[in-house]
Each structure stands twice: as C-alpha cells, then as structure tokens.
C-alpha cells in the first residue's frame, strides 16, 4: 500500500482529514492531518469514513477503483506536486481525473468529488510517507535432492493455493463514502457508496 490510509478518515461536520488516535466512550479522539495536528473528539453522531474503504465509480457499473489505488496512480504520474487544486477550473479538473481514471463515470462522479479528491491527495501526500512496493527477492538456486525433488511440487501447489486464496480476499473490497463536510445522516455523493453499488443516486454533494 503506497500510502497507508488505514487510520486516515474524513468525518462529517469536520473539514479536512483526520488520523484516528483512539476510541473513547463518547466517540473517538482524532488528530487533524495538517501542520497543527490539533486533537479533538469526533462524537458517535459524526460519520467517520476511512479513506481505505472509499472507491471511485467507473463506467463499468459493477467496478470501482479503491482510493488507495487512485492515490498511487496520482503519485506515479504527478508525484506530490499537482498542477491542479480544488480551485482549478472544471475543465482542468476533468482532464486531471481523466488522466488518472480514464474510464471514470462522468455521470456519477461530480466535480465536487474531484475537487475533494485533489484536496485529500494534497493533505495525505504532505503528511504521509509514500511507501514504494518492495521488489521481490530472488530465491538462490540450490542443488536438488531426492527429498527436495519430491517436496518441491507440493510447495508449489501450496503456494498456488495460498495465492488464490489471497487473491480472493483482495477481491472482497468495500466502497466507502466521500462525505460532505457538513454533517448528514445519509451519503451525499452518489458516485461512491458504502457497499458495492447496486443502484444509481442522483443527489449531488453539497
């Protein structure tokens, strides 16, 4: 995972992004993801959306792109210095989004969501370290013996089975919600849902 988003969240009613610190009886203690690092308490009434659980709709109605992958694509193409901001004109933002996700759903992904994506990426890339994927280490060659020759196929079968099971687990991804900065009891942005998208929603983000 290039950017570790497991503890980074967007919270309804609270602008910006936050790092989850620890739970309390009243909610959860959070730390703002900025240079001040201000700590506060998000109550149980606030909707907490973990970034690693958020996905972006594509033109394939049943397919989404996880935000972790979106951030990785942005980093690979632009690094941490983006030419666009959340205040850039709509044409520049749409072009930027098209370069990152060429098949993103133009009907379900609104301009307000692209602006929020840019703001989030800037906040994350400024505060978190990008973790490059480690190259797989090569296994040194060894002389085969009768025992190793008989056990090697078993090891390969086990590895293949483990790989298949891991791939199956990775496929079980959940989509999240890009929440509005104002507190709400329902998801505001229709292009991203908390479960695999089952139906369309036409309500725009405020």
**15 is a domain residue:** yes
pLDDT at res. 2: 82
Q: Which of 57, 55, 64, 46 is nearest to 10 (CA)?
A: 46
Domain holding 99, by residue range, is: 8-132
**188 is a domain residue:** no
The structure tokens listed for 184 are: 């709400």
pLDDT at res. 133: 64
The structure tokens listed for 67 are: 């935000």
Quick one: three-class SS letters along 149-170? HHHHHHHHHHHHHHHHHHHHHH
Q: Which of 174, 178, 175 is nearest to 206 (CA)?
A: 178
Q: How far is CA 154 from the centre of its chain?
A: 37
**120 is a domain residue:** yes
Number of domains in the chain: 1
**26 is a domain residue:** yes
Tens digit of pLDDT at every position of the chain (206 positions): 588 999 999 999 999 999 999 999 889 999 999 988 999 999 988 999 999 999 999 999 999 999 999 999 999 999 999 999 999 999 999 999 999 999 999 999 999 999 999 999 999 999 999 887 654 344 444 444 444 444 444 444 444 444 433 333 332 233 444 544 444 434 334 444 343 444 444 444 44
Helix%, strand%, coil% for the chain, nearest 5: 35, 15, 50
**88 is a domain residue:** yes
**160 is a domain residue:** no
């Amino acid at each position: 995972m290039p950017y570790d988003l497991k503890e980074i969240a967007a919270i309804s009613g609270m602008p910006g992004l936050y790092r989850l610190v620890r739970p309390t009886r009243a909610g959860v203690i959070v730390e703002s993801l900025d240079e001040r690092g201000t700590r506060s308490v998000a109550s149980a009434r606030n909707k907490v959306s973990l970034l690693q659980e958020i996905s972006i709709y594509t033109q394939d109605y049943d397919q989404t792109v996880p935000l972790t992958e979106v951030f990785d694509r942005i980093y690979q193409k632009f690094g941490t210095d983006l030419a666009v901001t959340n205040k850039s004109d709509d044409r520049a933002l749409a072009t930027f989004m098209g370069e990152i996700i060429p098949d993103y759903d133009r009907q379900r992904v609104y301009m307000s969501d692209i602006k929020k994506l840019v703001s989030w990426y800037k906040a994350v890339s400024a505060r978190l370290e990008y973790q490059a994927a480690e190259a797989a280490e090569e296994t040194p060659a060894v002389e085969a013996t009768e025992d190793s020759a008989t056990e090697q196929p078993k090891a390969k079968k086990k590895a293949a089975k483990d790989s298949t099971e891991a791939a199956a687990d990775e496929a079980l991804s959940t989509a999240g919600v890009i929440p509005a900065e104002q507190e709400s009891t329902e998801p505001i942005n229709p292009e991203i849902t908390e479960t695999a998208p089952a139906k369309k929603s036409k309500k725009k983000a405020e």
